[in-house]
Amino acid sequence: MCGIVGYIGHREAYPIIIKGLQRLEYRGYDSAGIVLYDEAGTKLAKTKGKVEDLKKKAEDTISTTGKLGLGHTRWATHGVPNDTNSHPHYSNSGNLCIIHNGIIENYESIKKELIKRGYTFTSDTDTEVLVNLIEEVKKTEDVKLGKAVQIALNQVVGAYAIAVFDVNKPDEIVVAKLGSPLAIGIGENEYFVASDASPFIEYTNNAVYLEDEEMAIIRLGKEIKLRKIKDDAIAYPNILELQLNIEEIEKGGYDHFMLKEIYEQPRAIQDTYRGRLLADQGIIRMAGIDQNLEKFLKADRIIIVACGTSWHAGLVAEYIFEDLARIPVEVEYASEFRYRNPVITEKDVLIAISQSGETADTLAAIKMAKERGAFVFGVCNVVGSSIARETHAGAYTHAGPEIGVASTKAFTTQITILSLIALKLAKEKGVMSDSKFHEYLTQLENVPAKVERALKSNDAIEEIAAVYKDSPNCLYLGRGFNFPVALEGALKLKEISYIHAEGYPAAEMKHGPIALIDEQMPVVVIATKQGHYEKVVSNIQEIKSRKGKIIAVVFEGDKVVKEIADHVIEVPETEEFLSPLLTTIPLQLLSYHIALMRGCNVDQPRNLAKSVTVE
Ligand code: F6R
């Protein structure tokens, strides 16, 4: 779970790699490193800390010239984050240099073997073992670098995206992939290598995404050669034309990516349903569903697998699918599902939800469900991601790049797409009247303007944040469609402000959490005037009578809750199943402001990474 960048061509590699690493910091940011090559040889700089720290160190300690280079931003797996464990790593001879994203699971046995043969190791990493294994193979088998990489990778167990070069042959970079993403950008007499396309998007739109168990030999002046790692068979590069745009991945005037992404939600939701929701014609058009309609209509049940925020979107979808389309749904943490020998049949449809499309547990759950005969549908944001490619069919959310580590627009766009699917299936199954269907389509079309209105509470939310920024704990309560929103609100607060927060279904409070309530405890309650409104109002009374502090999220015009809550945040009214798209907004803003006031790094919270490609 790291970011890798490589360059070989006619430009200076240093600025390309530094900027590329900054764009990939969402993948990990506990240490970083860079190696550059020019006629004088290789120059290496590595440091604990962020890419900004690396930049300072590199500019102070090495000459930053060279038209070949590799860079790495790390999320530690083996070995603490320090300078020595940072990548790139040299082989013992100093001839080979590698960057690696992933884990080599059998590195200890390989390391023991290499030590017996006289190799020494300076770091605690599995990566240093891998580069020395490649060196050993190259030496003993007397083969070129590409072949040595292929033979070595057949001896390792684990996951990797690697880039390696030989200082004696600096016109070539060898890359390989299994389980971690790797994209190659193809320019005019230049090549780029990266964990995703963002580091090279201003230089070229042409890219090849390596498949698992593929490697490529990238040589200046030659076309890239793709091979299968297992048997050395030739593979043919599928060159894609990318749609990504550079403005989309920069902050665009906001102080943080998270804030930018919160404010992008009206546009992102619209982009999600654009071309799919044709309200005036009363149609929902989604190729992935249209082409597989029978599978969905005949399914015994839908199983949703995901992690973190995407799992919360899955929980909202459970309520929506069951209520609107009358299809039984189970929502599973991918990490639990994959290891508990679940009963899966050919009559199950599995929906995997993932912003990044790279989450290791979700990917593994998909593979297992496919092996057991289920039809697997992906809901991803990142185009061409591993999950998007591994699923039988799917639908992209089109939210645009989400860089802030805390997921915001991914959540609302996932709910949008899942609502579209539920509505479509309800219509096709004949369990929803035409008039209801039309009404709901119009309501969904009105959501972006309502989100825009909800965002106007930002200043009021900032004032509430100032009151509670020092609270050590916070409770979030919601019912029905808004129970998962309570979970999501709590997750947002804890991950970026480090305040302990828990989400509960409001009625569960009296089964335990109510013991926590005292005058110090802020309780965020989603109390929209629908469904279980009166019951939630009673829950608020119960908290008030124990002196808890209530921050209530209500629909505009609410009078009852206003009378009893300490703070009220209004969002525009909508259909109950669409309300999470609105009630989520103030919770995102609340956690953003609290984190900022506590001096936390909002975009890069400690210990986290944007895409969790390890178990
Ligand atoms: C929370 C967050 C994580 C992710 C989770 C799944 O803000 O971002 O909980 O939601 O790691 O990631 P994806 O959706 O990429 O599979």
Superfamily of domain covering 251-445: Glucose-6-phosphate isomerase like protein; domain 1 (3.40.50.10490)
User: How many Å lie between the centroid of ligand 1 and the Cα of residue 309?
Assistant: 5
The ligand 1 atom at the shortest distance from the C-alpha of residue 356 is 15
Q: Which of 2, 307, 380, 474 is catalytic?
A: 2
Query: For the chain, which residues score pLDDT lower than 70?
Result: 1, 247-248, 614
Residues near 192 by Cβ (< 8 Å), separated by ≥ 6? 5, 6, 7, 16, 20, 184, 185, 199, 200, 203, 204
Report the pLDDT value the prediction gives residue 1, as an integer from 0 to 100: 64
- Give the list of residues 6+ apart from residue 232 with CB closer than 8 angstroms, or none: 147, 150
CA of 407 to the centre of ligand 1 (A): 6
Task: Say how far apart CA 58 and CA 70 lie, in whole Å.
Answer: 13
The Å distance, Cα 476 to ligand 1 centre, comes to 19
Residue 436 is among the residues annotated as catalytic for this protein: no
Ligand 1 centroid distance, CA of 221 (Å): 40
Map out the domains of the chain as residue ranges: 3-248, 251-445, 455-615
Is the CB of residue 355 below 6 angstroms from any atom belonging to ligand 1?
A: yes
Pocket perturbation via mutation, ligand 1, pick of 261, 355, 415, 606 by most ligand atoms within 8 A of CB: 355
Q: What is the pLDDT of residue 173?
A: 98
The CB of 310 under 6 Å from ligand 1? The reply is yes
Residue nearest to atom 10 of ligand 1 (CA): 309
Identical topology for domains 3-248 and 455-615: no
| Rounded Cα–Cα distance for residues 214 and 204 (Å) | 22
pLDDT of 148: 98
- Residue 96 structure tokens: 């080979």
Q: What's the pLDDT at 247?
A: 66
Query: How far does the centroid of ligand 1 lie from the alpha carbon of residue 121, in Å?
Result: 35
Judge if the beta carbon of residue 495 lies within 6 A of ligand 1. yes
**Ligand 1 atom with minimal separation from the 308 CA:** 9
CATH architecture of 455-615: 3-Layer(aba) Sandwich (3.40)
Return the pLDDT at 464: 98
Condensed to tens digits (0 to 9), the pLDDT of residues 257-272 reads: 999 999 999 999 999 9
List, in sequence order, every residue forming a beta bridge with 234; answer none if it has no partner.
Answer: 227
Q: Which atom of ligand 1 is nearest to the CA of 411?
A: 10
Q: Is 299 in contact with 327 (CB distance < 8 Å)? A: yes
3-248, CATH topology level: Glutamine Phosphoribosylpyrophosphate, subunit 1, domain 1 (3.60.20)
Decide whether any atom of ligand 1 lies within 6 Å of the 611 Cβ.
Answer: yes
- At a CB cut-off of 8 Å and minimum separation 6, what does 204 contact? 185, 186, 187, 192
Contacts of 154 (CB under 8 A, 6+ apart): 229, 230
Residue 338: its pLDDT value, please? 87
Distance between CA 553 and CA 523 in Å, rounded? 11
Q: Which one-letter DSSP state was computed for residue 527?
A: -
Tokens 């500019």 locate to: 59
Q: Give DSSP secondary structure letters for 540-582.
A: HHHHHTTT-EEEEEEETT--HHHHH-SEEEEE----GGGTHHH
Closest CA relative to residue 388, chosen from 368, 406, 362, 407: 362
pLDDT of residue 81: 80
Q: How far apart are the first and last CA of the chain?
A: 10
Distance CA 587, CA 49 (A): 30
pTM: 0.76
Instruction: State the distance from the centre of ligand 1 to the C-alpha of 611, rounded, in angstroms.
Output: 7
DSSP letters along 80-119, please?
-SSTTTSSPEE-TTS-EEEEEEEEETTHHHHHHHHHHTT-
Assess whether the C-beta atom of 584 lies below 6 angstroms from ligand 1: no
Q: Can 56 be counted among the known catalytic residues?
A: no
